[in-house]
Amino acid sequence: MAERRYTKTHEWLTVDGKTVTIGITDFAQAQLGDVVFLELPSVGRKLETGEAFGVVESVKAASDLYAPVSGHVTAVNEKLTATPELVNSDPYGEGWIMKVDISGELPSDLMDEGTYNQVAGAETS
């Protein structure tokens, strides 16, 4: 299994060759509460690192989603259209949001799980 990396904006990613799978973290879904809608990017869309690519809406709030890498969207999780709650119940599995073929290198500011947990934990204190 590929090592999961994390962003400051609470997205996670795993890398498999040039393909990156992206979702939101368990911390993010817990903060949002029950997810009721996701605005997903179009397949083929070109993204730049840090660019907003969609929106996640919950009963509590709406939040932009940010691309952790640059590249082209190759797939979106169509299951989320009918069952957005997968983001809550399985954020690291069935709740993935999109796959991107990366262009260039991974950003150097991606965090490992331990570092991310410290950052996320600091936000709750």
- pLDDT at position 98 is 98
At residue 16, the pLDDT reads 93
What is the β-pairing status of strands 35-39 and 46-47?
Answer: unpaired
Per-run averaged pLDDT (10 residues), the chain, 125 residues: 88 95 96 96 97 95 95 97 97 97 93 92 68
What is the architecture, at CATH level 2, of domain 5-105? Answer: Beta Barrel (2.40)
Nearest residue to 69 (alpha-carbon basis) of 56, 55, 50: 50
Label residues 47-57 b or e (16+ Cβ within 10 Å = b): bebeeebbebe
Domain ranges of the chain: 5-105
3-class SS of residue 115:
helix
Angle made by CA atoms 52, 58, 61, in degrees to the nearest 5:
70
Chain centre distance of CA 99: 10
